[in-house]
Structure formats: C-alpha cells, structure tokens
Amino acid sequence: MRAVSAFVAVLLFLGTPSACDAAPDASFDGLTIAAGAPGDVYHALGQALAGAARGTRVVTTGGSLDNLRLVAEGGADAGFATVDTVTMAAHGDQPFRAARPFVALARLYDDYLQIVVPADSDIVRITDLAGRTVSTGPAGSGNAVVAARVLGPEVKTVQLSPADSAEALRTGRIDAFAVTGGLPVPAIQQLSERHPIRLLSLRTEIADIQSQHGEQYQARTIPARTYGVRTEVETLGVANVLFVRPDLPDDTAYRLTKLLFDAKADLVAAHAEARRLDRRQAPATFPVPLHPAASHYYRTQKPFT
C-alpha cells in the first residue's frame, strides 16, 4: 500500500468545549481529517471542510481504505469512506487484519462507478477490458475495491490517482480507468474538456454484483451530457459517509456534524455533490451506525430543514 502523505496543518486555539447541546462554533483544536487524492471528490470536500473548521489538519491519502486505517490507528479523527469499505473494516475482512468498529456522522452523497475510455476506443463493454491495462485507483482507495469486484481477474491493473489516470489515458499509456466518485469527478471533467471520452455501461453486471455483495451497491444512472457523453449510462452507486471512531468525544462529534450543514455553501462551492447533503437523508448511514452525538443533532433539528 502506498504510504500516506505528510500532513498539511494549521493549528488554531480552541476555547473550553461546551456541552453537546450548546451552539457549536467552527473552531477545532488539532482535529485531523483524512481526505483523499488530488482530483477526487474527497479531496475537494476535505479541503473545504478544513477551511471552515478552524484548527484542523487535512491528510491527503489514497482514499477510503487509507482513511479507515488512519482513523483506526489514531492518525486522524474523521475521514471519508464508502459504506462498503466501512463494512469490510467492521468485519475485519481483507485488507484489514482485525475488526475495526466505526460510526458515522452523516451520509454525504452517492459515489458512481465511472469506467472511462477514449471516445474512439474499440472497448464498448466490460468484457472487452480483458487483457487491457486499466487503472483501478490508488492503493488504499475504496475505488480499487469496487473496480476489482466489477472488472474481474483478466484485466491488467495499475494503481494511479484519478488525476494521473486521466493523464495516462490521454497519452495512451492505459486503455481505461475506473473511478468511484460523485458527479462530476474533477479529473474526468478536466479530461473530457481536452479529450473526448465515453463511459462504459454496467447494465449486465449490476445484478451479479448485488447478488455477490449485497444491496450496499445500488443501480444508478449517470445522466446524459455528463462529461459531454450524449447518452445516459447505467452503473453502480455506493453511499459515502463522514466517519469517526466510536470514542470521539460527543462535543466534537456534535459540532463537526453541525458544521457540515453550517458550511454547506462552502462545500458546494468546492464540489457540486455537496448539494446532496440533507438533514433528512444524512442519518441514513446503514449499515454503518450513527455516532450518538450525531443522532442527537438530527433529533434536535426542525423537520424538513
């Protein structure tokens, strides 16, 4: 697994913590957020949340798996991950060596599996990728978990970040790349503005994936005109959560949950998928349980706000 990069940190003073029911402010004393790789949605949202949460540190990582390990080991207090990878950690499934319990603060948005090929490629379906070189995302990412479950063993895989994958496809060093992320993924958007692309449909694979791995993977549709692609594309979706360890203090968990909504405009400015953050949907983190303080926050909010 690729090593997690160095922290980029700015620490500010935080006054005495208030009770869980008190109105939280936006100051945090050394809070560390495990984000993702440049060019992905986690990275964009992590930077925006850190900008709103004074006194935080942001860690650039490979993605969900790195984030879960980092939070479990105490190197970060919160992180972004997909619910399938949180479930893997909770069960101690590979690559985790032991069960790692986590709780969520909020459901954020759904990731869409996006398999990108050049517009003029002769690859038109998933089975055409056999023997081809495909980037499945950086080591330590949940992206690689989903991609492996969909692509199978006959694909030659390399592990590149979304930004590096896009450049490798543009220059012909790979035949395709797979990214899980909200719409649009910045790296794919930037590529499509310079180089025509297509997205592969998963219409015939969806039922098999759900049968093998459960309905944590949902059928989703990428709308027509996304990235300039003319038709809608059927694919898989999986929910993202902001997660923490169960022992994160109630005051911190409550204030961080509240900040997600107080800073929503900043998050939307960083990436459009943040518009999906909604108090009515945010508690729906199943199969990942909510932190008790996050649950308290949602119970105290006015309905439909």
Q: Is the pLDDT of residue 2 over 50?
A: no
Mean pLDDT along residues 66-78: 96
Statement to judge: residues 31 and 59 lie in one domain = yes
Q: Which amino acid is at 105?
A: L
Identify the domain boundary among 186, 217, 238: 238
* Rounded Cα distance, 275 and 187, in Å: 19
Label residue 275 by pLDDT band (50, 70, 90): very high
Statement to judge: residues 136 and 226 lie in one domain = yes
User: 137 and 143 in contact (C-beta within 8 Å)?
Assistant: yes
pLDDT in tens, 124-141: 999 999 999 999 988 878
Statement to judge: residues 181 and 228 lie in one domain = yes
Determine, yes or no, domain membership for 120: yes
pLDDT attached to residue 24: 40
State both tokens at 212: 């093998």
Q: How far is CA 204 from CA 67, 185, 200, 201, in A?
A: 32, 24, 11, 8
Statement to judge: residues 40 and 153 lie in one domain = no
Identify the domain boundary among 203, 219, 238: 238
pLDDT attached to residue 26: 66
Integer-rounded Cα Rg, in Å, for the chain is: 19
Q: Quick one: 150 exposed, middle or buried, by C-beta within 10 A (0-12, 13-18, 19+)?
A: buried
Please state, as a whole number, how many other Cβ atoms lie within 10 Å of the Cβ of residue 230: 7
Determine, yes or no, domain membership for 2: no
pLDDT attached to residue 4: 38
User: 177 and 166 in contact (C-beta within 8 Å)?
Assistant: yes
Residues 6+ apart with CB under 8 A from 27: 12, 13, 14, 15, 53, 54, 55
Percent of the chain with pLDDT over 90: 71
Q: What are the DSSP calls for 167-190, one per residue?
A: HHHHTTS-SEEEEEESSSPHHHHH
pLDDT attached to residue 143: 85
Statement to judge: residues 137 and 283 lie in one domain = no
The CATH number linked to 262 is: 3.40.190.10
Q: Among residues 262, 263, 248, which one has the least CA distance to residue 294?
A: 248
Q: Is the pLDDT of residue 118 over 90?
A: yes
Token pair 């709780």 in the structure block, residue: 103
- Domain region containing 187: 111-238
Determine, yes or no, domain membership for 227: yes
Greater confidence, 89 or 94?
Answer: 89
Determine, yes or no, domain membership for 1: no
Statement to judge: residues 33 and 131 lie in one domain = no
Identify the domain boundary among 222, 238, 254: 238
Mean pLDDT along residues 180-205: 93
Statement to judge: residues 62 and 125 lie in one domain = no
Determine, yes or no, domain membership for 178: yes
Domains: count for the chain: 2
Look at strands 103-118 and 197-199 and give their pairing. Answer: antiparallel
Determine, yes or no, domain membership for 305: no
* Rounded Cα distance, 6 and 59, in Å: 7
* Rounded Cα distance, 137 and 146, in Å: 10
Statement to judge: residues 228 and 115 lie in one domain = yes
Q: Is the pLDDT of residue 105 over 60?
A: yes
Statement to judge: residues 224 and 245 lie in one domain = no
Token pair 């090593």 in the structure block, residue: 3
pLDDT attached to residue 303: 54
User: 95 and 170 in contact (C-beta within 8 Å)?
Assistant: no
Q: Is the pLDDT of residue 6 over 90?
A: no
Statement to judge: residues 141 and 221 lie in one domain = yes
* Rounded Cα distance, 25 and 103, in Å: 22
pLDDT in tens, 203-259: 999 999 999 988 789 999 999 999 999 999 999 999 999 999 999 999 999 999 999
Determine, yes or no, domain membership for 219: yes
Statement to judge: residues 196 and 136 lie in one domain = yes
pLDDT attached to residue 182: 82
Statement to judge: residues 121 and 232 lie in one domain = yes
State both tokens at 298: 């949602």
